[in-house]
Chains A and B, each alone.
Chain A
């Protein structure tokens, strides 16, 4: 029987041979631990699709559509040196409040978690950071939970000892997260984070790939500063040079990101820079290849 991940890769390769070439190359580097994780995740995901009357082929089409957007935005980025979206309101209309776009975007991103090596590497890094900081996490918040993969990971690590809140600006994204997480103790909040005023502070906040979606990332981190306990921690990820339909704020390098973090008042306890392409860092930076910055922040 053909492995589901192999089926996805071959199906993508048939429809987009160039991208297929890259996926096949990446696939050869995978170890058994990755294969098991991917298989468990895809099994869970297939059930979600089945409950919606869909198959994995639907998801593959979503992925290809997302890829078309990324490629188009990448070409524009190389031509202009800027992201195409300039304001949050523009993106809200174009993406977050557009069910058709959000649906293919979320399903596409879900598949990318196990098709793009740097997405998987970051998930592992998150896992290790959280495992090392598990003591004292009673109140956990995720901002911009997307498809729910990270909070699912957190629930697996922290277990039932904590309260989990998930805040997302998109009701469509929250709907997908609810169906993926399937854990009834998560409190889902449909809100702009700037309008979220809970009656508690959090021990741990995760905010994956949100800073590039706002006009003022310093203001965003300052908001998180008000939400985290004095001895709490914040895990963030954000990419450099990553054109996408909903990215607004362009970080050109890790220095830009560190400067925003420090300006907001946070300190950096730990950090990691993971490039999207398997190239030496200096070449990747010279050619404006995307890099994912991950940081563990404290007050």
Chain B
């Protein structure tokens, strides 16, 4: 799957979990840019992303994403 398509899907997941249709993810987006994205909702997001893409993240990966670009790369590597 191309990265643009993954980013589009991630945006849909974020909108759904955080209940905020105004979210538009770009690779530079960080937690500081999205109010509802905190350590609690992060777990729900990870679960939703794992389920959607049928992948599993490691404990290190879950902690390591500084921005959406890092998350995108991680998902892309796992499904490629």
Residues of A within 8 A of B (CB): 16-19, 21-22, 64, 67-69, 71-72, 74-75, 78-79, 277, 289
Q: Is the interface of B mostly helix, strand, loop or mixed?
A: helix
Q: Contacts A78-B43, A78-B44 given; indicate if A22 touches B38 (C-beta within 8 A).
A: yes
With A16-B39, A68-B63 known, 6 other A-B pairs at CB within 8 A are A17-B31, A67-B63, A72-B62, A75-B46, A75-B50, A78-B47
Verify B39–A75 contact, CB threshold 8 A.
no
Complex-state Cα separation, A101 to B43, whole angstroms:
23
Verify B40–A17 contact, CB threshold 8 A.
no
Residues of A within 8 A of B40 (CB): 22, 277, 289
Residues of A within 8 A of B51 (CB): 79
Residues of B within 8 A of A69 (CB): 59
Which residues of chain B (25-80) have a CB below 8 Å from chain A? 30-32, 37-40, 42-44, 46-47, 50-51, 57-60, 62-63, 66
Verify A18–B39 contact, CB threshold 8 A.
yes
Residues of B within 8 A of A277 (CB): 40
Determine the residue in chain A with the shortest Cβ distance to B51: A79
Verify A68–B59 contact, CB threshold 8 A.
yes
Complex-state Cα separation, A78 to B40, whole angstroms:
12
Verify A71–B63 contact, CB threshold 8 A.
yes
Complex-state Cα separation, A72 to B50, whole angstroms:
12
Verify A72–B59 contact, CB threshold 8 A.
yes
Complex-state Cα separation, A72 to B64, whole angstroms:
12
Residues of A within 8 A of B43 (CB): 71, 74-75, 78
Q: Shortest distance in angstroms between B64's beta carbon and chain A's nearest beta carbon?
A: 9
Verify B63–A16 contact, CB threshold 8 A.
yes
Q: Contacts A17-B30, A17-B31, A18-B31 given; indicate if A71 touches B62 (C-beta within 8 A).
A: yes
Complex-state Cα separation, A18 to B63, whole angstroms:
9
